[in-house]
Amino acid sequence: MLSAAQLLSGVGSGASLSVGSLLAVQLSGSNAWAGSVTTTMTLGAAAAALPLAGLAGRRGRRASLVTGLLSAMAGALLVIVSTATGSFPVLLLAAALLGLGTAANLQARFAAVDLAEPERRGRSLAIVVWSVTIGAVAGPNLIRPGALVGEALGLPALAGPFVFSTAGLAAAALLLLLGLRPDPLLLAARLRSGGDPPAAGAAAVRRPRGLRHGLAAVRASPRAGLALLAVITAHGCMAAVMSMTPLHLQLLTEGPLADMPAGHTHAASTDVLVLIGFTISLHIAGMYALSPVMGWLTDKAGRLLVILLGHGLILLSVLVAGFGQAQPVLVTVGLVLLGLGWSAATIAGSTMLAESVRADDRVLVQGVSDTLMGVAGAVGAGFSGLVMSGVGYQGLNLAAAVIAAAVLAVVVSAAARDRAQPAPV
């Protein structure tokens, strides 16, 4: 059920990533706001992570995931409204609600390991991450059919893909509401409590704790801290580069979107939208399509080695995209490598984080992780427009390269310590 719901809900995230920056420029009239949709989405995800984790603790994963997906469905509807009315503030409100769907999708990966055996945690988590591939890859490629649907409904072309997003999110929420039974988190708590009734299992999960307690739990475990660092930096670098790539490709081929004449919405501009959709689709495929491989490597080769692989790929990706900025093919190759690096770092880091803290702290720490991922993504996307305006797309990629290289140095040091000191049984 988790996998099928991820597949359907992925359409919403794919559409948002591919046309969000273009909608922001179109409705605001300024390239400076290009990263605002991604920033607002990630802030929405960050703000929702802990409340959704708390809801999961009180009511189980099903209630939390359905709440996030229904909120995202409302956001997809508001994107259509904002595009039809030309309202930039409504677009930002819609992006914030779509962020709740992102938070729910992130939480779903942890639901996959609630009942998983330790030796299969990486693969269990990766399967749910992988399931978003089809929907998320399809989302950016719905630009052209979405434009046809939009025209049939009397909507602007860029609003069309969000008709598909709305339907996918609604179907995903319904699927989880009816099919995610028994609830994996409540069942895991019940098993830990010795098979008591479900209410007792829920009580075992539910404790009045907040961000401070979650951070203390992370600080108590060096491996948890390292895992958290790997996950949030990978997400921040990915969000910064990815959010500016559609605008960079558009500027590379057509010049500033805000300076185009009002009637310039078909012909060449449609071709550019297809190029952007194709590039973002391949990037998302890199993020999700090889997740089972990353999960298998995480279980077989070890968490730290796969984290090293992830940040090494991120470093390579931003160098390829930055120095190949004038060639769309190299930008696309860089974005694919960026997705692969994010996949490796996120799967290995999330697995290591989940197993490095006490069981009764796990849901809270997962909420803290998703919150900080959202903050890192928001900071990356928010400052990416300013960085790109100042030093260009190449400079933005080189800034991400510095961050990836720093994390690599930290992880190499930790891996060396791991080899010198055997892990406790």
Alpha carbon 244 to chain centroid distance?
Answer: 16
pLDDT at 258: 44
The rounded distance, in Å, linking the Cα atoms of 12 and 31 is: 23
Q: What secondary structure letter does DSSP report for 302? A: -
The rounded distance, in Å, linking the Cα atoms of 356 and 150 is: 48
For residue 14, the surrounding DSSP H or E stretch is helix 2-28
Residues 109-126, mean pLDDT to the nearest whole number? 77
Domain for residue 132, yes or no? yes
The rounded distance, in Å, linking the Cα atoms of 51 and 56 is: 9
Report the CATH number at residue 125: 1.20.1250.20
**Does the pLDDT at position 403 exceed 90?**
yes
Residues 6+ apart with CB under 8 A from 195: none
Contact 6, 135 (CB under 8 A): yes
**Tokens 């979405």 found at:** 146
The rounded distance, in Å, linking the Cα atoms of 244 and 122 is: 31
Q: How far is the CA of 404 from the CAs of 214, 305, 417, in angstroms?
A: 25, 15, 20
**Does the pLDDT at position 126 exceed 50?**
yes
Residue 11 amino acid letter: V
The rounded distance, in Å, linking the Cα atoms of 148 and 152 is: 6
Domain for residue 255, yes or no? yes
Alpha carbon 83 to chain centroid distance?
Answer: 24
The rounded distance, in Å, linking the Cα atoms of 244 and 278 is: 15
Domain for residue 338, yes or no? yes
Residue 265: pLDDT band (50, 70, 90) is: very low
Residues 6+ apart with CB under 8 A from 192: 201, 204, 359
pLDDT at 306: 95
Residue 198: pLDDT band (50, 70, 90) is: very low
Write out the two tokens for 117.
Answer: 């055996």
Residue 235: pLDDT band (50, 70, 90) is: very high
What total of structural domains would you count in the chain? 1
pLDDT at 165: 85
**Does the pLDDT at position 66 exceed 50?**
yes
3 or 207: which leads in pLDDT? 3
Residue 260 amino acid letter: M
pLDDT at 194: 65
Domain for residue 425, yes or no? no
pLDDT tens per residue, range 277-333: 788 888 988 888 888 899 999 999 989 999 999 999 999 999 999 999 999 999 999
What number of CA atoms fall less than 13 Å from residue 276's CA on the CB side? 32
Averaging pLDDT over each range in 6-15, 131-140, 202-211, 360-369, which range is the top one?
Answer: 360-369
Show the domain range for 356.
2-420
The rounded distance, in Å, linking the Cα atoms of 241 and 287 is: 14
Quote the Cα angle for 66-371-93, to 5°: 65
Domain for residue 37, yes or no? yes
Q: How far is the CA of 226 from the CAs of 112, 149, 180, 357, in angstroms?
A: 22, 46, 32, 12
Q: Give the rounded percent of residues in the chain with a pLDDT score beyond 70.
A: 85
Cα dihedral 155→156→158→162 (10° resolution):
-10
pLDDT at 95: 92
Pick from 173, 202, 181: which is nearest to 60 by CA? Answer: 202
Convert 220-230 to b/e letters by CB count within 10 Å (16 or more is b).
ebebbbbbbbb
Instruction: Answer whether 0.75 is exceeded by the pTM.
Output: no
Q: DSSP per residue over 71-98, as a string?
A: HHHHHHHHHHHHHHHT-HHHHHHHHHHH
**Does the pLDDT at position 3 exceed 80?**
no
Domain for residue 80, yes or no? yes
Q: What secondary structure letter does DSSP report for 325? A: T
Q: Give the rounded percent of residues in the chain with a pLDDT score beyond 90.
A: 36
3-class state of residue 69 by DSSP:
helix
30 or 1: which leads in pLDDT? 30
The rounded distance, in Å, linking the Cα atoms of 352 and 357 is: 9
Query: Is 329 exposed, middle or buried (CB count within 10 Å of its CB: 0-12, 13-18, 19+)?
Result: exposed
Least confident of 115-119, 152-156, 267-271: 267-271
Contact 374, 382 (CB under 8 A): no
The rounded distance, in Å, linking the Cα atoms of 131 and 56 is: 21
Least confident of 62-66, 200-204, 377-381, 390-394: 200-204
* Rg of the chain on CA atoms, in Å: 21
Write out the two tokens for 20.
Answer: 């969000």
Residues 33-45, mean pLDDT to the nearest whole number? 82
Q: How far is the CA of 369 from the CAs of 115, 186, 196, 312, 402, in angstroms?
A: 20, 21, 29, 21, 22
Domain for residue 88, yes or no? yes
For residue 218, the surrounding DSSP H or E stretch is helix 211-219
